[in-house]
Amino acid sequence: MQAASSGATIMLDPAVRPDDDVILSVEDLAVHFPLGGGLLGGGHRLLRAVDGIDLELKRGECLGLVGESGCGKSTVALSLLGLLTPTRGRIVLDGHVVTERRSVDRKRLARIAQMVFQDPYASLNPRQTVRRTLEDPLRLHGVTARSEIDGRIAEMLRHVGLRPEQAGRYPHEFSGGQRQRIGIARALILNPKIVICDEPVSALDVSIRAQIINLLLELKESLGLSYIMISHDLGVVEHMSDRVAVMYLGRIVETGGWRDIFERPAHPYTQTLIAAIPDPLRRAPLATARGELPNPLDPPDGCAFSPRCRYAEAVCRREPGPSLETRPDGHAVRCWRADEIAGQLPS
Amino acid sequence: MTAAPLIEVEGLRIDLADGARHVAAVEGVSFRIDRGETFGLVGESGCGKSITALALIGLLRRPLSIAAGAIRFEGREIQGLSAAEQRALRGNRIAMIFQEPMTALNPVSPVGRQIAEMFVLHKGKSWREANQLAVEALANVRVPAPERRVKDYPHQLSGGMRQRVMIAIALACDPDLLIADEPTTALDVTVQAEIIELMRNLCAERGTAILMISHDLGLVANVCSRVGVMYAGRIVEERGSDDIFRAGAHPYTQGLVDSLPRLGSRAALGRSRLREIAGVVPAIADFPSGCRFNPRCAQATEICRTTVPETTWLGAGGLVRCHHHA
C-alpha cells in the first residue's frame, strides 16, 4: 500500500527529538500544483490546494479534518504520508522530519503512518488473497519467518473481526464492510502509530457504518493509535474526534476541541456546514451558503469564504482572513468578525 | 374527478433474470402518492428502491422486468400503454433526476439545447422558441447569467450547477411527478442544502409531487411528508416523516436510526458505542425466507424465520410489517 513512486523524499533527522506528547506536527504546509498553459496558450497557473496550514496530533488522539470537496483535506493526507512533495512547510512524524529533496526512508515512514482509504472495492488488489495483501508489507519490512507471518496475519484478522481461515480468500468474496476490515488490517499490519482514515465509511451501507466506526475506536484504544479522521460526514467526525480542524479552500478556518467546533462554532463556514446537515429526528429548514466553493484557481479577494458569507463586510472582501488566533482554550478561528458572531447558528 | 391518487403502485414484483432462474428483487411493494405530495423511499444498496423508481417511469430493462402487480398513473395502468404513450408520459408527466448529473447529461451537447429539446419533443415548440424557454428554465433554477450558460457544455459546470440543469430539464414540461434518485449524494452538504431548497420550492409552486429515493434518513425526513423504509425488496414500514425515525415501529428502522452518529448526540448523551446492526445486507439471490430482516434482528423468533409478516396498520395511515413491531 505504500506507493513507492512519488517525488517526495523523507529525511530522518536525528536532531529532532520526539516530543512525548505530540506525534505529528505540521507547520506552514503548502502544496501548490503548477498547471500548464491551456491548449490555446493560456498562461501557466498555480493551484494552491493547501496553502499554509498548521496541525498538531497528540498521542492517542483523533483529529478530525473536515471540509467540502476541493478544500485540500486529502492533499494534506497524501503529504503526511510522503506521497506528495509539499511546496513548503515542515512535517514531523514521531520525531522524523518529512521534508523535500533529502535521502528517503520511506520504509521507516510506512512503519509510522498508514492510511485507510474510502473505497474498499477500489483500494484492494482483486487478484491478491487477503493473506498476500497482508504478507507483502511484512516481507518488505523484514519479517520472513513463515510462522511469524502466519501468526501476525491471524492476529490482525482477529483484531479487525475476521477469521484467520478467511485469509485465503479474494476481496470479491467479502462484503463491503468486511473489505473495509481488510483495508484496516492492511493499514495496521506494520504496527503504525498514526492511521490516516480518509472517508473510511462513506462508501459503506448505512447499517454497516456503525460496525466500522466502533471497530476503529476500539482499535485506537487497544493498540494505542492516533488518528487523523478525514470526512465530510460531520456526525462521524463529532463522534470520533477529540479535536477538529475545519478546512476551506486550502486553509484551516477554525480548529478546536470537538465541543468548541460542534457546540460553539465561531466561523460562519463551520456554522453553515453544521446547520446544513439534515437530522432524521428534527425537521428544520437547512442552512445554505450562497453559491458554491469558488474555483481554487481563481480564489476570491479577501477572505475566501466572503462571497458566500452572510456576515461579510467590506473588510472581509478586501483583506485576506486574519491569521488563526489561538485562544487560551485552544479554539482558533480565522474570521474578521468571529467575536461578534461566535456561537450563533444560522437557521 | 374521482380521488384517484396521482400514482398508485400495487403488489409490485420486479424479477431479476439470472439465466433461466428468476429471483424477485422487489416483491409486494405498494404505495400511493397524491398530487403535490412528497414521498420518500429509504433503504440501503440493493433494497430495490431505485428499480422501483425505474419501474414507475417505464425504464426497467433486461435482466429486470415487472413480474406482477400494477402501476397506475391517474388510474390508468402504465404497463397497458403503448411505447409511444409511455414516452409521452415520461418527461411530460413524470420526470426523473439522477444521482450523478455528469453521466445523465449528454456530454457533447450544450446544456441549453438539452433543455430546449424537452420543449421541442413534448410541447411541439420550434427550436427558436424552445431556446428562449431554455434560458427562462435556467433562470428558474437560479443559474446565474442563464443566457450565457445555455451555451456551456456539462463539463464546464460545477456539480451543483449540473444538478440545477437536470432539474431544469426535469421540470421543463411541468410534470406531475418528479422522481429524484439520490439527487444530492454526489454534492457537498452546503450545495445539497441549496439544491434541496430549490427542488422543494419549485415543486411546491407548481404542485409537483416528489418521489425521493435516498439512503440518507435525515434528508428524506426533511424533504418528504411520508416515508417508506425498504429492506431487501420489501417496504417494511411506512409512516409520516415526523414519526417514522423518532418512533420507528420496525426493528430495522429503529436499528438504522440508532446506528447513526447523529450530529449533537455526543454532546447530549456522551460518546457511547454506536448500536450496530449485525450481519450484512443480503444479496438478491439469498433473500432469507420469512421476514427478510430476521437473520439480523435481535427480536427474531421462530415465526420470523418461517412466515412473511402481514401488514399491520398504525395510526394516520402508517403501516409496519413485523411480527414483533413496537
Among A residues 203-232, those touching chain B with beta carbons less than 8 Å apart = 205-211, 213-214, 217, 232
Instruction: Tell me what pLDDT residue A328 has.
Output: 81
**Quick one: cell of A145?**
519467518
Cα distance between residue A262 and residue A279, in whole Å: 14
For residues B225 and B240, the answer to whether their CB atoms sit within 8 Å is: yes
Distant-in-sequence, close-in-space partners of A99: CB < 8 Å, separation ≥ 6: A9, A10, A11, A90, A91
**Which stretches of chain A score pLDDT less than 70?**
1-19, 37-43, 99-104, 342-347
Among A residues 298-337, those touching chain B with beta carbons less than 8 Å apart = 308
Query: Min CA distance, A110 vs chain B (Å)?
Result: 30
Say whether A206 and B44 touch across the interface (CB within 8 A).
yes
Residue A217 is which amino acid? L
Instruction: Tell me what pLDDT residue A342 has.
Output: 66
Cα distance between residue A330 and residue A60, in whole Å: 18
Question: pLDDT-based confidence at B315, cuts 50/70/90?
Answer: confident
What mean pLDDT is reported for chain B? 92
Say whether A274 and B217 touch across the interface (CB within 8 A).
no
pLDDT tens digit sequence for B50-67: 999 999 998 898 899 999
A148-157, A194-203, B79-88, B241-250: segment of lowest average pLDDT:
B79-88
Say whether B261 and A236 touch across the interface (CB within 8 A).
yes
Residues of A within 8 A of B45 (CB-CB) are 205
Q: Which of B219, B261, B280 sits opposite A239 (nearest CB)?
A: B261
Say whether A238 and B276 touch across the interface (CB within 8 A).
no
- What is the percent of chain B with per-residue pLDDT over 90, rounded to a whole number? 73
Q: How far is CA B121 from the centre of its chain?
A: 25
> Residue A171 carries which DSSP code?
G
Say whether A235 and B261 touch across the interface (CB within 8 A).
yes
Q: Is A54 helix (H, G, I), strand (E, B) or coil?
A: strand
Instruction: Tell me what pLDDT residue A107 has.
Output: 85
Distant-in-sequence, close-in-space partners of B124: CB < 8 Å, separation ≥ 6: none
Instruction: Tell me what pLDDT residue A113 has.
Output: 95
Q: Which of B197, B245, B261 sits opposite A281 (nearest CB)?
A: B245
Cα distance between residue B108 and residue B309, in whole Å: 50
